[in-house]
């Protein structure tokens, strides 16, 4: 057996339980300490040293005050108490452990001290029948569990279905950026909760409580909140922290705040990722959706646009620019097979081209390539659509501009002359 005992800060005990659940399902909160039974998971994590290296170095949680490891839970707790009290470790463990490190013996310490019983070994040497009559069977049961003669039973920690934590601010916050110090601690707990449940957060809410109920004669609401959404489920608290910081910079506080609350609004189960040893598969830098979300938080959600495909046969209507926060994760529509040959960049309005010797020109002569592709008709369902027209699309090469995308608008009913327009360009 292999047990690890941790002593985290009192207000971070739940977060450290969630952190420990990443390494073993057998985690308990006992006597203000976090206990882990890692006997069955040591091999999975590469041994005790590798497991401790990952367990004791979380990214956002505060460091635990001390830790200890032993074959049984009660011995690990006893060694942890010695470390916290800065007392030396005895040469013989568990026989040499001081009796005051055994929680079940606290009520009998004075009597046992008078008979010269000061450590676990001395207590174990006393007649069991007499100890049971004088102090009860619970003391002997705890001693047997400490020595591994009886199985130890604990109430194992379980993840709550929703993350919701509230912390008191160390000082009144007069502006929103001052909330980030406490928000950092809440984000650390959120990351531990997400990792233990193998989930990613999609939407969360940061809420603060005002210390005043009235400001300059104006009645204030008791709380205010700031929602944050991401386009993809994530466990990356650095990205969430940047989004919060950007939005808090532009959020005024109506009054000083004294409490901060963080809760999840939407989470999703994260699928496992396949690792790769190839350098080209090692993604570096910021992901595109993270950059878009960060710019949206900084500049305003309606000022950052992303393209969205639309199921439409008209080239100028196949793509629309919408605010990034409203784009959503809708499935891509089915487009015509020849849409892949069209340029990604189209002019806002087709540009009429001049004619020279019966051929279109654009900053010089154009060399027409490939066969024409005909598009006939317009969107009858679209009230804002232009009148029906027939077009022949062609690729053209310009010495100064490269590949261009043109179309020839054919006259209807044989009236008028064909006209040429420039609609797009290839990168």
Q: How confident is the model at residue 231 (pLDDT cuts 50, 70, 90)?
A: confident
Q: How far apart are CA 306 and CA 316, in angstroms?
A: 16
| Total H helices, total E strands in the chain | 11, 19
Among residues 267, 246, 251, the alpha carbon closest in space to that of 203 is found at 267
Q: How confident is the model at residue 266 (pLDDT cuts 50, 70, 90)?
A: very high
pLDDT given for residue 296 in this prediction = 75
The position carrying tokens 């000082």 is 171
* Tally of residues, the chain: 427
User: 10 Å Cβ neighbour count for 36?
Assistant: 29
Q: How far apart are CA 419 and CA 427, in angstroms?
A: 25
Pairing of strands 214-215, 67-70: unpaired
Rounded to an integer, the average pLDDT of 185-206 is: 92
| DSSP per-residue letters across 304-334 | -EEEEE---SSGGGSEEEEEHHHHTTPPPPP
Percent share of the chain, pLDDT over 90: 35
Residue 34 tokens read as 């976090």
Among residues 264, 258, 200, 211, the alpha carbon closest in space to that of 233 is found at 200
Mean pLDDT is highest, among 67-81, 166-180, 318-332, for 67-81
pLDDT given for residue 272 in this prediction = 62
pLDDT given for residue 274 in this prediction = 60
Q: How far apart are CA 283 and CA 102, in angstroms?
A: 51
- The predicted-structure confidence for 268-318, as pLDDT tens digits, reads as follows 998 766 655 665 555 566 676 777 777 777 777 777 777 777 777 777 777
pLDDT given for residue 334 in this prediction = 62
CATH of domain 166-269: 3.30.1490.100
The position carrying tokens 């830790």 is 67
Among residues 70, 11, 62, the alpha carbon closest in space to that of 37 is found at 70
Contact 308, 319 (CB under 8 A): yes
pLDDT over 80 at 325, yes or no: no
pLDDT over 90 at 321, yes or no: no
Domain coordinates of the chain in residue numbers? 3-146, 166-269, 339-425
- The predicted-structure confidence for 70-116, as pLDDT tens digits, reads as follows 999 999 999 999 999 999 999 999 999 999 999 989 888 999 988 88
| DSSP per-residue letters across 271-306 | PP------GGGS--S--HHHHHHHHHHHH-GGG-EE
302 against 329, higher pLDDT? 302
Q: How far apart are CA 310 and CA 320, in angstroms?
A: 7
331 against 341, higher pLDDT? 341
Predicted TM-score of the model (pTM): 0.69
pLDDT over 60 at 386, yes or no: no
Rounded to an integer, the average pLDDT of 138-159 is: 91
Rounded to an integer, the average pLDDT of 127-154 is: 91
pLDDT over 60 at 61, yes or no: yes
């Amino acid at each position: 057996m292999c047990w690890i005992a941790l002593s985290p800060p009192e207000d971070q005990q739940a977060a450290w339980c969630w952190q420990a659940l990443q390494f073993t399902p057998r985690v308990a909160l006992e006597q203000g300490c976090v206990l882990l039974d890692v006997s069955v998971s040591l091999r999975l994590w590469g041994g005790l040293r590798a497991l401790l290296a990952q367990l004791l170095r979380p990214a956002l949680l505060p460091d635990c005050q001390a830790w200890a490891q032993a074959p049984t839970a009660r011995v690990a707790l006893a060694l942890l108490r010695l470390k916290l009290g800065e007392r030396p470790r005895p040469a013989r463990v568990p026989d040499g452990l001081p009796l005051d490190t055994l929680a079940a013996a606290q009520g009998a310490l004075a009597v046992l001290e008078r008979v010269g019983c000061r450590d676990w070994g001395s207590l174990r040497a006393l007649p069991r029948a007499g100890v049971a009559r004088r102090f009860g069977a619970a003391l002997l049961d705890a001693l047997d569990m400490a020595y591994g003669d009886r199985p130890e039973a604990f109430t194992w920690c379980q993840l709550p279905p929703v993350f919701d934590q509230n912390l008191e601010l160390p000082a009144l916050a007069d502006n929103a950026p001052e909330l980030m110090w406490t928000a950092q601690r809440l984000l650390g707990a959120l990351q531990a909760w997400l990792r233990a449940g193998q989930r990613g957060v999609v939407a969360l809410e940061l809420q603060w409580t005002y210390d005043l109920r009235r400001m300059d004669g104006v009645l204030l609401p008791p709380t205010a909140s700031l929602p944050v959404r991401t386009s993809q489920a994530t466990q990356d608290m650095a990205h969430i922290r940047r989004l919060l910081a950007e939005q808090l910079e532009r959020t005024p506080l109506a009054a000083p705040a004294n409490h901060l609350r963080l809760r999840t609004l939407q989470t999703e189960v994260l699928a496992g990722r396949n690792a790769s040893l190839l350098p080209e598969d090692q993604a570096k830098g910021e992901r595109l959706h993270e950059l878009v979300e960060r710019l949206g938080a900084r500049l305003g959600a309606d000022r950052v646009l992303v393209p969205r495909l639309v199921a439409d046969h008209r080239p100028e209507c196949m793509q629309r620019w919408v605010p990034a926060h409203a784009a959503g994760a809708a499935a891509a529509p089915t487009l015509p097979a020849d849409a892949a040959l069209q340029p990604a960049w189209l002019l806002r309005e087709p540009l009429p081209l001049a004619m020279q010797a019966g051929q279109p020109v654009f900053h010089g002569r154009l060399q027409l390539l490939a066969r024409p592709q005909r598009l006939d008709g317009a969107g009858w369902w679209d009230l804002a659509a232009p009148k029906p027209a027939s077009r022949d699309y062609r690729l053209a090469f310009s010495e100064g501009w490269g590949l261009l995308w043109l179309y020839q608008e054919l006259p209807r009913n044989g009236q008028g002359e064909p006209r040429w327009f420039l609609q797009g360009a290839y990168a």
